[in-house]
Amino acid sequence: MIIKVIGVLVASIASTGWSATPGIVAGVAASAKNPVSTPELDQYASSRPCAGFYTAAFRPVIKQDRTPAPRSSRPEKGKRFSDPVYKTCVVRVTDAAKEPPSTFARNDYARRQAFNADDSLIIIYAIDGSWHLYDARTLKYVKKLKGVGGDAEPQWHSRGGIHETLARCITLRIMAEWKSMRST
């Protein structure tokens, strides 16, 4: 999984290599123009992988763009690199060879928030239908969510937990899983 430091997952790692989705990259970069800044979140800014990457001269692509993503080698987990087309900071989050999930994993949907309210966790969807949490600050694997299958649509609650947009009995399990994880 690859993340943009501006808070949106934009590309995925597959067993054969990685590729960014150009249309998503261009659209996502537009949000960098008006970043949200709060004292609570700013305390982590200097420790984030893309801290200091952007200069005052950076201007994101703010239009629909279909520039093909160039082929390149798979980046190392946690190391930032510059997207060759858009010059944005990109960071690989997952490493299937060293941690779960052991297959293809990605953000579930480009319009679905991958980060929780305080940017401390990332939710990742695996090809087998399982959902996984990663620490957004260290990029370390946290755990697999129990009781949530591929047809679930877990969403972050505005207070940091996860809730399910489709009202099902699984909602209680997701919230219970979240509460038990945060208390340890």
81-113 residue pLDDT tens: 999 999 999 999 999 999 999 988 888 887 888
| pLDDT interval class at 73 (50, 70, 90) | confident
Which two tokens mark 75? 């980046």
| pLDDT interval class at 77 (50, 70, 90) | very high
Percentage of the chain lying above the pLDDT 90 cut: 16
pLDDT higher than threshold 70 for residue 168: no
Domain coordinates in residue numbering, the chain: 2-183
In the prediction, which pLDDT does 133 show? 92
110-149 residue pLDDT tens: 788 888 888 889 999 999 989 999 998 899 999 998 877 7
pLDDT higher than threshold 80 for residue 5: no
| pLDDT interval class at 178 (50, 70, 90) | low
Question: Structure pTM?
Answer: 0.62
Q: Answer yes or no: are the C-beta atoms of 28 and 115 closer than 8 Å.
A: no
For 45, which DSSP code? G
In the prediction, which pLDDT does 104 show? 86
Backbone angles phi, psi at 14, to 5 degrees: -115, 170
Report d(CA 11, CA 124) in Å as an integer: 12
Residue whose C-alpha is closest to residue 123's, from 106, 140, 146, 99: 106
